[in-house]
Amino acid sequence: TQFSGAVVARPHGLALTCLGDSCMCNPGWSGEYCNLKQCDQRCNDHGQCKNGTCLCVTGWNGKHCTQEGCPNSCSGHGQCRVNQDSQWECRCSEGWDGADCNVLLEQSCNDGRDNDKDGLADCEDPECCSHHLCRSSQLCVSAPKPIDILLRKQPPAITASFFERMKFLIEDGSLQNYARPETFNESRSAVVRGRVVTAMGMGLMGVRVSTSTPMEGFTLTREDGWFDLLVNGGGAVTLQFGRSPFRPQTYIVNVPWNEVVIIDTVVMWTGEDKTVSMGPHACRAHDYDLMKPVVLATWKHGFQGACPDKSSILAESQVVQESYQVPGTGLNLVYHSSRAAGYLSTIQLQLTPETIPSSLTLIHLRITIEGILFEKTFEADPGIKFTYAWNRLNVYRQRVYGVTTALVKVGYQYTDCKDVLWDVQTTKLSGHDMSISEVGGWNLDIHHRYNFHEGILQKGDGSNMYLKHKPRIIRTTLGDGHQRPLDCADCDGAAGPKQRLLAPVALAAAPDGSIYVGDFNLVRRVMVDGTVRTVVRLNVTRVAYRYHIALSPLDGTLYISDPESHQILRVRNPDDFSDPDHNWEAAVGSGERCLPGDEAHCGDGALARDAKLAYPKGVAVSADNVLYFADGTNIRMMDRDGIVTT
């Protein structure tokens, strides 16, 4: 019997339309009975479709076989093989390296020649550092691996602070040489990690990495080009890279307190190499509102508390909770699987929306957490979902307790856009909980433990109190509610809440936690211990109108805009309180007013101190120490060389 035009439901849930003796399959299905799932059209280029699965030919990877694992057939200098992740890659022959085995390695290390044409000869080339003639060369000295240092030490205590866990980096015989421990502020310490490579992308060993603070010492990159450096965080840090015969490099990075920060790859160039810095290009295909990831992470577990009559499964965080009453005691034993050793904290990601532009080709995922770098590339598809699981250890295999922050970067690559468009988000993840009762993985509900570093009270019934994440409480830092006199003789020394203010108009925070307050004619500093000192005393006639202050995150220089004098002032020494009347100098502006139609463009392109300003107001300093300021209706800047530009 024929059912022309009838719609039939198949047992496996597919719908098809019968036309005579043939079936019209729904999109994505084929076959006589519409039971064969089709593949994406991209599979036809480098794969074969087998019931919805694209089977890649040799040398191609990815869901749709569009990612070339063995580019250029390994350039004739290697073989295409499957790695431990079941991905095709090039296994290069001896003397060759690179993703496509096209990088010639230095083999003759004592002939004084640059045989691989990379600008490096003999022991200058890191590939020769394994040669017996170069092992004693200064250029081949590197820092040990952090894990090798930690294997010789006892694990840090559960209650250890960030600095106590990371100070192994600066101890004798460790990674960081000539570092003075007293230089580091324990509450502000941080670690910067990164990789240094040559222009060919090869890891460069023996690069000296230091900061602008000599007492923080230096470290050397390892064989793979990676380095670890303990620094004082809370602002911008200038990293300096040096190794002969490469040109010295500087890299400015903003470093928070008590975090392990991974910087972008640093490329070292020889004197003959030239780099061209290009700004980002516009990409019309990218919709910034729609094309962005959805990031979900569960760091506050939904605890049920002591429930002796039932078990609980918390689906969102994939946690099982059990609770049993101890007969005759009124106490309960509580088990929570998130406190087990094998539990993984997860980040749920949706990388693309349900509709994507046809020109989107690749999605790049980069996650950094506690010094760990995870990277993965996806072929473009609608509704890509991915789950990242973290084992709650940092890059040095130390347990992480409490709550930590993960940085999630997702990049979108288009065929008609030159740059990869990145979206950056942060999310929180839960680390390990401290053990409480230690009864075979179970806890008594009356036992509690306080993690004072993270401000977390862990209760025996399975619940946590995150005290740091409670609503903020406003406290008085400076001022008792009364006005001070204009000529204040006793404005220094006492604690902030006991001091008086006249007319506070500006505020800036320093990396060490101190606060600068523009209080009419005084610029005052609330020190970390709460005492107040006067940094600058301005003439009363200079502050008749509102002024602004800004602090450089790089070197701590304090700038003050002075609209009436047509200048921006720079504090000479913010730590010197002996002569506040003269503790400043003009940084921008000669004092002359900039008028419309000025033939010299009010000093653009010349030294900032000779420029003319109209009415400088708001000021800001970037991480690389460039001063920006609003001057009338213009936004102007002073670069690091002291040149002003509109």
Q: How many CB atoms lie within 10 A of CB 266?
A: 20
Coil, strand or helix: which one is 525?
strand
CA contacts within 13 A on the Cβ side of 362:
17
What residues contact residue 433 under an 8 Å CB cut-off, 6+ apart? 338, 339, 401, 458, 464
Q: What is the mean pLDDT of residues 14-41?
A: 75
- Please check whether residue 616 is in contact with residue 627, taking contact to mean a CB–CB distance below 8 angstroms: no
- Please check whether residue 454 is in contact with residue 468, taking contact to mean a CB–CB distance below 8 angstroms: yes
Model pLDDT, residue 1: 40
CA contacts within 13 A on the Cβ side of 350:
11
Model pLDDT, residue 387: 93
pLDDT digits 0-9 by tens, 549-586: 999 988 889 999 988 889 999 999 999 888 998 999 99
Domain with CATH 2.60.40.10 in the chain: 146-267
**Per-residue pLDDT for 547 more than 70?**
yes
Model pLDDT, residue 9: 47
**Of 354 and 32, which is predicted with more confidence?**
354
- Per-residue burial over 278-307, b = 16 or more CB atoms within 10 Å of its CB, e = otherwise: eeeeebeebeeeebbbebebbbebebbebb
Q: Picking from 34-43, 68-77, 185-194, 410-419, which range would have the lowest pLDDT averaged per residue? A: 34-43
**Of 294 and 488, which is predicted with more confidence?**
294
Q: What is the mean pLDDT of residues 196-214?
A: 90
Locate 204 and state its tokens. Answer: 């460069």
**Per-residue pLDDT for 185 more than 70?**
yes
> Does the domain made of 146-267 have the CATH classification 2.60.40.10?
yes
Terminal-residue alpha carbon distance, the chain: 83
Q: How confident is the model at residue 219 (pLDDT cuts 50, 70, 90)?
A: very high
Q: How confident is the model at residue 13 (pLDDT cuts 50, 70, 90)?
A: very low
Q: What is the mean pLDDT of residues 179-183?
A: 90
Model pLDDT, residue 544: 60
What residues contact residue 36 under an 8 Å CB cut-off, 6+ apart? 29, 30, 51, 52
Measure Cα distances from 264 to 382, 417, 515 in Å.
Answer: 29, 22, 31
**Per-residue pLDDT for 162 more than 70?**
yes
Q: How far is CA 163 from the centre of its chain?
A: 19
Characterize the bridge pairing of strands 558-562 and 567-571. antiparallel
Query: Which of 135, 128, 95 minimizes the C-alpha distance to 112?
Result: 128
What is the average pLDDT score of the chain? 86
Q: How far is CA 253 from the centre of its chain?
A: 10
pLDDT digits 0-9 by tens, 372-408: 999 999 999 999 999 999 999 999 999 998 889 999 9
Model pLDDT, residue 74: 93
Q: What is the mean pLDDT of residues 300-312?
A: 64
**Per-residue pLDDT for 539 more than 60?**
yes
Q: What is the CATH number of domain 493-645?
A: 2.130.10.10
- Please check whether residue 501 is in contact with residue 522, taking contact to mean a CB–CB distance below 8 angstroms: no
Model pLDDT, residue 3: 45
Model pLDDT, residue 308: 58
- Please check whether residue 346 is in contact with residue 298, taking contact to mean a CB–CB distance below 8 angstroms: yes
Domain with CATH 2.130.10.10 in the chain: 493-645
**Per-residue pLDDT for 281 more than 80?**
no
